[in-house]
Amino acid sequence: MMDRRPRLTDVARVAGVSRATASRAMNGAYGVSDDVRQRVRDVADRLGFEPHGVARALATGRVSAGGRERVEVLVVDPDPHALSAKPFYGRVLTGAMRALSGQDLALELKLVTAPPAQDPDPPFGRVLINMPLLPGAAYARRGRTVALGETAPGIPFVSPDNDGGGHQAAVHLVATGRRRVGAVFGPATPCALERRTGFLRVMTAAQQAVTVADGDFTRRTAYAATQELLARVPTLDAVFAACDVTAMGVLQALREAGRRVPDDVAVVGFDGSTLAEAADLSSVYQPVEEQAAAAVRRLLDPSLPSPGRLPTALTVRGSS
């Protein structure tokens, strides 16, 4: 007989599972088979284990203090330098940490070049970033999942009004008299496609042609794309960059070509990050921190409505 109060680690050891699995089983979280869940609970009853707050956890879907589960931020990005080069991800973590304040949950960041085919150790909840618009992978449908940006049908998401942001950027360039406009768009992700659609809709309505180059949200590709635009339209007088990192490559290429910003060429980015502030870049602001916080709040309480779309707003600075 034990001479102390049984703990979750005792239950896990006797049941032959990890402490995290025992926590999931006791709290009714996903990622545990019915057989394992029943075995863990039977062992807990036999040992006299009494977790505090289990009733609250079962009612709200939140894990109790008996086990330190994790929320995983899963980033799909082929750029190996993405986490250091793109301020967006740091802003996501800031918002997620705010929403987890006071919760007995760890925050884990995982960067992958493509969606994983398997999910051997599902977390308490997962935030998906840059997930392709495809039928949901099995791991993305297990339990609590929220995407930043619209993704597979059935997966709740939170996203900025990308279409509206692209619209605002285009209206600004047309209203300021720019007539030879280029654009460096992003990859084939939902958010990038929405920005492209909003921008081109305004240009089409204004009966104004746009010279387009494809990008991938990296400075290096944007630099090469801008050189391509200048070769095709030497008198280019405006560029819309689909994110602020892209805008940095645009500005570099324009500077090296001897084109003055904004006198010769106006530049508008998208994100409203610290990069935009430092470079005096006009940029469409998206509330990334609030997006991430809203996603995590939805993970903690699935009864909340899907966060949906948050507003964007163009901030005009010296580049346009």
Q: Identify which of 22-36, 95-109, 202-216 has the greatest average pLDDT.
A: 202-216
The residue whose two tokens read 């709040």 is: 297
Fold agreement (8-60, 162-285): no
Tell me the two tokens of residue 230.
């200048």
What's CA 47's distance to the chain center, in Å?
Answer: 43
Confidence of residue 59 (pLDDT cuts 50, 70, 90): very low
Any bridge partners for residue 71, and if so which? Answer: 107, 125
CATH code reported for the domain at 162-285? 3.40.50.2300
Binned at pLDDT 50, 70 and 90, residue 58 comes out as: very low
- Flag whether pLDDT at 136 surpasses 60: no
Whether the CB-CB separation of 270 and 244 falls below 8 Å is answered with yes
Instruction: Please list the helix, strand and coil fractions of the chain in percent, rounded to the nearest 5, in that order.
Output: 40, 20, 40
Per-residue confidence band for 8, with pLDDT thresholds at 50, 70 and 90: confident
pTM over 0.75: yes
pLDDT in tens, 154-178: 788 999 999 999 999 999 999 999 9
- Would you tell me the crossing angle of helices 34-47 and 8-15 to the nearest 10 degrees? 120
Q: Which CATH number fits domain 8-60: 1.10.3720.10, 1.20.1540.10, 3.40.50.10320, 1.10.260.40?
A: 1.10.260.40
Mean of pLDDT over the chain:
86
DSSP element (H, E) containing 252:
helix 244-256
pLDDT score, position 163: 98
For residue 153, pLDDT over 60 is answered with: yes
Q: Write down the domain spans for the chain.
A: 8-60, 69-158+288-309, 162-285
Radius of gyration of the chain (CA): 24
Query: Which stretches within 64-140 are classed as H helix?
Result: 82-85, 87-100
Given this model, what pLDDT does residue 51 score?
57
Instruction: Please report the DSSP string for 210-230 in residue order.
Output: EEEEE--S-HHHHHHHHHHHH
Give the type of residue at 27.
N
Q: In what order do the strands lie in the sheet with 282-285?
A: 210-214, 181-185, 238-241, 266-271, 282-285, 313-315
Kindly give the interhelix angle for 219-232 and 244-256, rounded to the nearest 10 degrees: 50
Contact assessment for residue 290 and residue 262, using Cβ atoms and an 8 Å cutoff = no
What's the pLDDT tens digit per position in 91-125? 999 999 999 988 878 899 999 888 877 777 778 88
CATH of domain 69-158+288-309: 3.40.50.2300
Q: Which two tokens mark 262?
A: 């904004």
pLDDT over threshold 50, residue 233: yes
